[in-house]
Amino acid sequence: LESSLLTQPWASVCFGESAFLAKACFRDTGYVLLISDLSSVWYENADAEAVGQRSKELNKRLTVHVSSFLHRLCKLMCPLLAGQPDTTTSFSCHRSASGLSLHVRSELSGLPFYWDFHCCPAPMEMVSRHLMRPLIRMSLVLQYQVQELTSLLRQKDAEIEDYRESGATLSRDRLRTEPFQEETFQQNFMAEVRSGAS
């Protein structure tokens, strides 16, 4: 389950008034859920037996097979993670020193349907595997991309300068650009990032 979770993208979600990043993977054998507010990371890995036991405690009037129950949980969570939450389902969360509880309230076959995800702090290896390493890899890729684009802009500037020195002129003056100044660009970009963050 957790190896399948690695292929799942992070999604931005709101539980009540709180914003989180989350990813989940559901199978007939159980599920794994990972949630972060970028300060802490929580997870729950529940097998079919744990799901069956909790479903009996929370939904005494419902008698469905565990795999059907897991399928229902998947149908509630996946649209939320895809940015299309079901309006008939409500989510709320409660943080404590021991972890994070996510409460789900919906309907199944005309009866009230409840579920609680009991998430505990994720171990460092899990945080590293799902959050830190992918972020660092993406950061390195973006840095390389910026270097390549900067190099390409310098080549374009040199090409344009060569045309000018050969006597070429622009047919439309509004297309004129200034030579690319990497340091100025970086300063302006960082200033915009800081103003956006504040």
Tens of pLDDT, residues 91-106: 999 998 889 999 999 8
Taking the model in full, what pTM does it have?
A: 0.76
CATH number at residue 146: 1.10.287.450
Give every CB contact of residue 157 below 8 A, 6+ residues apart in sequence.
179, 180
149 and 106 share one domain: no
Condensed to tens digits (0 to 9), the pLDDT of residues 131-171 reads 999 989 999 999 999 999 999 999 999 998 898 889 888 88
Full residue range of the structural domain in which residue 70 is found: 1-122
pLDDT at residue 197, rounded to an integer = 63
Q: Are 20 and 91 in contact (CB under 8 A)?
A: no
The answer to whether 176 and 170 are in contact (CB under 8 A) is yes
The total domain count for the chain is 2
Query: What tokens were used for 84?
Result: 């299309």
- 62 and 98 both lie in a single domain: yes
pLDDT value at position 51?
A: 92
Helix spans in the chain (H)? 2-5, 48-58, 66-81, 124-127, 133-165, 182-197
pLDDT value of position 54: 93
Report the 10 Å Cβ neighbour count for 54. Answer: 17
Same domain assignment for residues 40 and 110? yes
Residue after which a domain boundary falls, among 90, 122, 154: 122
User: What size, in residues, is the chain?
Assistant: 198
Burial status of residue 71 (CB atoms within 10 A of its CB: 0-12, 13-18, 19 or more): middle
Pair (90, 156) in one structural domain: no
19 and 63 together in one domain: yes
Q: In this structure, what token pair is assigned to residue 41?
A: 């990371």
In the block, tokens 């959050």 appear at: 131
The reported pLDDT for the residue numbered 64 is 78
Q: Are residues 150 and 169 in the same domain?
A: yes
Taking 70 as the pLDDT cut, the residues of the chain under it are: 197-198
Q: What's the pLDDT at 198? A: 61
